[in-house]
Structure 1
């Protein structure tokens, strides 16, 4: 049985591996710069003002960014996008960072406007206003449709893996091209997915996701709270809050991207022998993306277009703020179980020989 070479992890020390390590180092370098910028702004504020900012507000802004990175839409988007790049035989190091930077740009821009005293910002972040509703429609529609497309793509890939697994059991060979999604769904999705052909294209996706102002409103409220609670706080200090938020979110989104990449790299090192694992983990990714897509689109129809039917009302009421942790636990649980089974199989094979 032939073993495909596409999608394999390069040998340690090879040029491809060194290239990946350099890209991973650059990704983490950007995260370090974000943290340094946040600390620098906080330091400038300390010099410019004699009124210190409560450390609790800084910690709250940072931890809010960390928590938001584990929302299910972040996890599902990074996971499904990474899965697609790996299926093409690529090793993306910056999917999580690019998506998170796009999302963070909205937060930082909103924070800067709030510090500058832009009065129209209240119309953007105040729930129920026309501007907030419009931005919510844009962000929700983009996120819902993107996850729908990625979910359909990965569902087709999972189905393909199960088919290849049955062929492998019958002793039939598999080629590199066999592992890529094929058929009607893949052809239909080729055009929309061509817009996201490189990891850095995820910046635009993250930016459009962020237009819903769910996270931007959080940080804006933090800034307003800080302004009202601590008289005389420097604008530099207040501006550090959205940067702390962005630093925390980008750090965790980048680490999430590395984690799912490692998961899929291990699944594709020996694809023919690991098709079962690949099908299961891809199926989980597809299910999560389609599930979030249904909830997001349901929320857009309910809140944005005013539908009040039982289905969209129920979908709009679902809170997925903590569900991302469940998804991560599920995927790593499957990964860990597969690793245990794989090692056990190797030990049994070694004893028999």
Structure 2
């Protein structure tokens, strides 16, 4: 069941055959990290440079990218530890792995589309000067709280999956 892959996996299959060892994934991961982190760091440096005109010291300008790198280090380490535990749990049973990947991917895609739709709506309403309670609410959505809600959704989903697996599916297997 796990060998049957999706549409993109069939298209990209020739590229997957180029990777024979786990160390060959390092350059790909490095390029992904370079693309995302570098773009964010450049934005923070530009923000720092624009702030420098208002009398901020050189230490203040340099500290923002350093604090960003430290925060990314902590968050990436925490994410790696948590995902390692989650994948260890999911790899115990191939079917569990498939359901776990499907659930996490679904939540990620829904969250990406939701955030993209909100951003697009904010841009359109700002450009067209649309008025109304709904549009005002959308314009004032706080993305930091949206991020917290997304983390809570992942934790609740994981908790429900764990409870269902532990109390219903695992017990059913041990009784049969």
Q: Could you say whether these structures have the same fold, taking a TM-score greater than 0.5 normalized by the shorter chain as the test?
A: yes
Matched residue, 2:129:
308
The answer to whether residue 36 in structure 2 is matched with residue 205 in structure 1 is yes
The alpha-carbon deviation at position 255 of structure 1 amounts to 2.1
Change (3 A) 1:316 1:263: farther
- The alignment covers a number of residue pairs equal to 159
Please say if residues 301 and 307 of structure 1, whose CA atoms lie closer than 8 Å, have aligned partners that are also in contact. Answer: yes
**Counterpart secondary structure, 1:318:** coil
Change (3 A) 1:321 1:210: farther
1:320 to 143, 146, 167: 143
The alpha-carbon deviation at position 348 of structure 1 amounts to 4.8
Matched residues in 1 for 2:128 and 2:44: separation? 21
Matched residues in 2 for 1:301 and 1:261: separation? 40
Indicate the structure whose relative CO is greater, using CA pairs within 8 Å and at least 6 residues apart.
1
Matched residues in 2 for 1:210 and 1:301: separation? 27
Matched residue, 1:102:
none
Matched residue, 2:173:
349
Change (3 A) 1:226 1:239: closer
Change (3 A) 1:206 1:336: same
The alpha-carbon deviation at position 220 of structure 1 amounts to 6.1
Structure 1 or 2: larger helix share? 2
Q: Which runs of 5+ in 1 are unaligned?
A: 1-173, 228-234
Cα deviation 1:251-304 (Å, max 9, x = unaligned): 21442344345435533442324544443332211111111122233445556x
**Counterpart secondary structure, 2:129:** coil
The alpha-carbon deviation at position 204 of structure 1 amounts to 1.1
The alpha-carbon deviation at position 201 of structure 1 amounts to 2.4
**Counterpart secondary structure, 2:3:** helix
Cα deviation 1:13-69 (Å, max 9, x = unaligned): xxxxxxxxxxxxxxxxxxxxxxxxxxxxxxxxxxxxxxxxxxxxxxxxxxxxxxxxx
Matched residues in 1 for 2:55 and 2:69: separation? 18
Aligned pairs for 1:278-289 within 5 A: 278-289=101-112
Matched residue, 2:63:
241
1:334 to 148, 153, 157: 157
The alpha-carbon deviation at position 343 of structure 1 amounts to 2.4
Q: Which runs of 5+ in 2 are unaligned?
A: 17-26
Change (3 A) 1:204 1:278: closer
Please give the TM-score of this superposition, normalised by the length of structure 2.
Answer: 0.62
Matched residue, 1:74:
none
Matched residues in 2 for 1:264 and 1:302: separation? 41
